[in-house]
Structures are given as structure tokens and as C-alpha cells.
């Protein structure tokens, strides 16, 4: 994620020249000095550090961007906020609801700008979906369904923990697919369709024990390999969500579909420049799903890029978020999702895990007001 964010900072001036603020890459921090020096040279950072506390202590640092494993999010974010730094944080906001609440309290008390990198909001086709939903074209919403499927952990010999596999270690990650993948789906869903009111979930850990890379010992696996939940939204619609790392043949299949009384939309990350739309008002002889190629200049963000018909990619969503964050410094408006927004997503994630553990429905207590 350090690469995707750095690319966003490096490219934003080229494509959003009207912005009043421009990012300066002052320092990059990582525990491995040789690796961080190579990273700094590759991406254009002025200096390096191996202690994040030293970075926060620097007077010439205005914003801290957290791309660490989840167990470090809270400590760094709280310290940065207390030092008066703006804070940008990778998702999920934290491992637990308690950690997330402390982070929200810290940025609000300090009054510092903050945002969380739920980047899929800023893929133009997804932003267009938001505009269509807000326009009322779909009519009353009945269903929201989403999935996020991967297959990279289908190996009983894969260890947990350590530099490359920290997502397999619950102490570091907080949860498995719920926090890593479903958090994306939940953030997008509540942005498009409003608050999730309650959930009923099941989770599964298919390999119960794995060797831990740091200890060399077999340990219980505490993360969820797969999760399915259904829910009620505040607007009366039903939701169905699935995420797994055990879907052979899928590396990053993220899709959503929304069904309304008048129309439906659906989107697929594998074809991210297209939004599919069905309008029941069409004449019967031409009624059917249409594929909207989201590359025209009057569609979200696309006036910044190429001629119509030429698509953009995953990395551009991060450039868009950098641009929106810099714009928010001009306008004074929040750059959503803020820590407060991400805290509401964390509430749903926690309710999902609690529901699966108890075998019962759980209220989320989400408030999007």
C-alpha cells in the first residue's frame, strides 16, 4: 500500500494542477533500513527513518500516512493527532471497535484532518453508481448484494504471521476476511445504500492450526477464512455479503449489485471501467442490461484522464483520494471516509464477528447522521 499511496502523491499534480496544495514526500519510514532506502530512492522521498516516533516529532511533517499492519494503526494515529499532524490511514481503521473509538476521539480532540483509504469509492464507475442511487433512478431499494473472493490461502502448509503473512495472524490483523475484504464491501454498501441496522453471520476457519513464522511453533488460527452474512438496511432493503480466501480461481473478485423498484445496477472490479444498468422503463423490445463504459469527460473524475473510450485502473482511485484530500484542505470540508465514517464500518465488522460467534442476530448501532 505504500507504493499505491506514493504513486498517488507523485501523480496528483500532473492530473489535478488546479489544486492549491501539493504533496511533498519528506520522509518514508520502515523498520528495514536497506529496504526503506531503496523505496525512498524509487519513489522520491527526501529522507528515511526506521522509527515512526521520530517522524512524528519532525516539525516539517504536516501529514502522516499509515500503511502499517493493523496492530500499529491506533498507536501511530493517536500519536500523530496529538502532535497536530493530519492523519491518513489504511483500512480497516483498527483491529477492534475499542481501538477505532480511541482513534476517532484523538483526531476529533486534536481537530486534525483525517481520512481512511477505502479507495473503491473513487473508482469512477462506483462514484457514478453513487450518483445514480442518489438521483432516485432506482426507486425504492429492495436488495444489496456484494462479494469479495480470493484464493491465496488454500494451502494447509502456509504459515501465519511475520512480514508477508501478518493478515493470517489475528493478533496483528484483528480478523481475517471480515476486516480485510468485507470492510471494503461494507464501506461501499453504506455509502451507496445507507446504514446497516443488524446482521446475522457465519464464519469458518478451514485450517485450524498453522505454524507461526515468528515462533516456529504450531498455533491455533484465530482469523476467519470465510464469512457470509445477511442484514437489514435502515431503508428497509436486505443485504447479502460473502467473502472468502478459499474461492479457487479468484484473486480479487469484488462485485456489488443493487436492485430497486425501477432499475438495478451492478459493478465488477475485474471490469472496473464499466457499470451495468437495467431500467424497467425501457421499451420491452430493447429492455435489458446495458453496459455503461465510464470513460467520458462528464462522468466522475474522467475529465482528468484520457480521451473517451480509454480506461483507467486500480491505482487511479488512490490518485483521486489524494486529490480529494488536498481539495478538502482548501474547502474545509471533510474528506470522506473520515475516521468517524470508518468507525461505523468497524461497528458492522464487529457485529458480524459477534453474530458468527454467538449464532444470533446482532444490532450494529450504526449512526450515519
Q: Which of 7, 12, 48 is nearest to 31 (CA)?
A: 48
Burial class of 149 by CB neighbour count within 10 A (0 to 12, 13 to 18, 19+): buried
Is the omega angle on the peptide bond into residue 75 within 30 degrees of 0, that is, cis?
no
Query: What's the pLDDT score for residue 136?
Result: 98
125 forms beta bridges with none
pLDDT in tens, 252-304: 999 999 999 999 999 999 999 999 999 999 999 999 999 999 999 999 999 99
Burial class of 261 by CB neighbour count within 10 A (0 to 12, 13 to 18, 19+): exposed
Alpha helices in the chain (DSSP H): 2-15, 33-43, 52-57, 73-82, 97-110, 124-135, 170-173, 177, 183-193, 314-331, 339-358
Query: What's the pLDDT score for residue 369?
Result: 78
Q: How far apart are alpha carbons 267 and 148 in whole angstroms?
A: 12
pLDDT in tens, 3-17: 999 999 999 999 999
Q: How far apart are alpha carbons 268 and 123 in whole angstroms?
A: 11
Map residue 317 onto helix, strand or coil.
helix
Q: Is residue 152 a contact partner of residue 251, using CB atoms and an 8 Å limit? A: yes
Query: What's the pLDDT score for residue 363?
Result: 98
Q: How many Cα atoms are found within 13 Å in the side-chain-facing hemisphere of 84?
A: 6
Check whether 235 has a pLDDT greater than 90. yes
Q: How far apart are alpha carbons 87 and 108 in whole angstroms?
A: 11
46 forms beta bridges with none
Q: Is residue 299 a contact partner of residue 308, using CB atoms and an 8 Å limit? A: no
For 135, the grid coordinates are 438521483
pLDDT in tens, 264-273: 999 999 999 9
Q: How far apart are alpha carbons 13 and 311 in whole angstroms?
A: 20
Q: How far apart are alpha carbons 228 and 52 in whole angstroms?
A: 37
Mean pLDDT of the chain: 97
| Residue showing cell 522521498 | 45
pTM score, whole prediction: 0.97
Q: How far apart are alpha carbons 297 and 307 in whole angstroms?
A: 8
Query: What's the pLDDT score for residue 6?
Result: 98
Amino acid at each position: 500500500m505504500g507504493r499505491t499511496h506514493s504513486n498517488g502523491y507523485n501523480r496528483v499534480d500532473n492530473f489535478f494542477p488546479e489544486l492549491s496544495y501539493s504533496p511533498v514526500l519528506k520522509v518514508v519510514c520502515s523498520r528495514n533500513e536497506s529496504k526503506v532506502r531503496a523505496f525512498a530512492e524509487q519513489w522520491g522521498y527526501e529522507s528515511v527513518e526506521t522509527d515512526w516516533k521520530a517522524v512524528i516529532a519532525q516539525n516539517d511533517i504536516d501529514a502522516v500516512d499509515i500503511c502499517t499492519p493493523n496492530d500499529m494503526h491506533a498507536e501511530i494515529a493517536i500519536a500523530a493527532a496529538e502532535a497536530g499532524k493530519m492523519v491518513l490511514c489504511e483500512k480497516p481503521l483498527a483491529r477492534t471497535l475499542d481501538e477505532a473509538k480511541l482513534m476517532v476521539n484523538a483526531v476529533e480532540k486534536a481537530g486534525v484532518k483525517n481520512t481512511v483509504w477505502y479507495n473503491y469509492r473513487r473508482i469512477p464507475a462506483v462514484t457514478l453508481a453513487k450518483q445514480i442511487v442518489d438521483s432516485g433512478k432506482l426507486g425504492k431499494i429492495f436488495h444489496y448484494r456484494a462479494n469479495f473472493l480470493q484464493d491465496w490461502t488454500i494451502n494447509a502448509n502456509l504459515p501465519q504471521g511475520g512480514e508477508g503473512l501478518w493478515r493470517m495472524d489475528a493478533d496483528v490483523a484483528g480478523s481475517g476476511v471480515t476486516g480485510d475484504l468485507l470492510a471494503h464491501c461494507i464501506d461501499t454498501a453504506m455509502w451507496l445504500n445507507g446504514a446497516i441496522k443488524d446482521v446475522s453471520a457465519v464464519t469458518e476457519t478451514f485450517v485450524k492450526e498453522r505454524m507461526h513464522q515468528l515462533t516456529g511453533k504450531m498455533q491455533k488460527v484465530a482469523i476467519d477464512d470465510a464469512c457470509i452474512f445477511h442484514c437489514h438496511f435502515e431503508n428497509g432493503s436486505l443485504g447479502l455479503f460473502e467473502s472468502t480466501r478459499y474461492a479457487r480461481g479468484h484473486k480479487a473478485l469484488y462485485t456489488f449489485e443493487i436492485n430497486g423498484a425501477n432499475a438495478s445496477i451492478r459493478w465488477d472490479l475485474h471490469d472496473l471501467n464499466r457499470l451495468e444498468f437495467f431500467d424497467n422503463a425501457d421499451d420491452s423490445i430493447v429492455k435489458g442490461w446495458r453496459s455503461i463504459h465510464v470513460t467520458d469527460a462528464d462522468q466522475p473524475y474522467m475529465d482528468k484522464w484520457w480521451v473517451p473510450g480509454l480506461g483507467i485502473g486500480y491505482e487511479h482511485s488512490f490518485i483521486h483520494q489524494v486529490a480529494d484530500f488536498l481539495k478538502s484542505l482548501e474547502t474545509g470540508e471533510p474528506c470522506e471516509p473520515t475516521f468517524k465514517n470508518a468507525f461505523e464500518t468497524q461497528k458492522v465488522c464487529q457485529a458480524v464477528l459477534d453474530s458468527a460467534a454467538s449464532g444470533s442476530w446482532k444490532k450494529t448501532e450504526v449512526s450515519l447522521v
